[in-house]
Every structure is written in structure tokens, then in C-alpha cells.
Amino acid sequence: MNSFEFNKIAGAFLMSLLIITVIGHIGNFIIPKPVVSHEAKEVDAAELLVIPGVGTFGAGMRRLRQLGLVELLAARCRAERPLLAICLGLQILCEE
């Protein structure tokens, strides 16, 4: 596998967004069930969104644009909804 193929695969993996949804309560504790999705409806509905830090910036942004998630993620940030962005996941949220 050459570096181009690796970056393509890694970029695609980045866009498999990890969504944490709440499935139940035990006493005062919430049990989260992780859901991996790139569907805009699920991403928008997630209580907590985790954007992993795997891949390259260019490939990641291309995939976000293909999936129509760029504006959705920007709106989520502006609304200060819970979001954990790791490494590249944080870089893709930057405007410049």
C-alpha cells in the first residue's frame, strides 16, 4: 500500500463519525451507546459527537463535503453543543 492509498483510506475512516447516544439511566449514571455514522440526521441528533483524529486534512474535508456535513458541524460548534474533536478532528473545525 502506498502513502496515497493509505491517506485515502485514513481520510475515509475519519469521516465515519462516532456518535454517542444515551440509551438509559441507572440511578444518576447515564450509559452511553456509541454509534458510528456519517448520516447527517444521526450526526445532528447526537447528544455528544466525537470526531476522531485519523487521516489527512485534505481527504477528511473532501469526505465531509461529499457527505454534506461541513455546515452541520459548523452549526453544531456555533450552538456550543457537546463535541469532542481529537487532533485532525479539531483541525477540520478551523476556519483558517
pLDDT score at 9: 54
At 12, the amino acid letter reads A
Strand partners, 21: 33
Strand partners, 26: 29
pLDDT score at 79: 93
What is the gyration radius of the CA atoms in the chain, in angstroms?
A: 14
pLDDT score at 75: 92
pLDDT score at 17: 47
Question: What CA–CA distance (Å, rounded) separates 63 from 57?
Answer: 10
Residue ranges of the chain whose pLDDT lies below 50: 17-28
Q: What is the pTM of this model?
A: 0.65
Cell numbers for 63: 469526505
pLDDT score at 11: 55
